[in-house]
Amino acid sequence: MSATAKSISSEHLSNTVRVNRKTSFLFQHKVRLAMQNSKKYTLTGDVEVGE
């Protein structure tokens, strides 16, 4: 989601990860909130990031 200038649609995400559209919409919403709050809650320790 953060690797592109534009976000992907919840419909596209739901098809990619095979969940319903409502689940993908809520996931995207939570990720966006986490990205906004990342300055308040920084990651510590070993952090592993996949593609």
Q: What is the pLDDT of residue 20?
A: 93
pLDDT beyond 60 at 2: no
Mean pLDDT across the chain, nearest whole number? 81
pLDDT in tens, 4-26: 567 788 888 899 899 999 999 99
pLDDT beyond 70 at 51: no
CA dist 21 → 29, 42, 47 (Å) = 12, 29, 29
Beta-carbon contacts of 8 under 8 Å, excluding residues fewer than 6 positions away, are: 1
Alpha-carbon distance of 31 to 44, in angstroms, equals 18
Q: What is the largest CA-CA distance in the chain?
A: 34
- Smallest CA-to-CA distance from 30 within 10, 6, 11 is with 10
pLDDT beyond 70 at 1: no
Domain definitions of the chain by residue range: 8-34
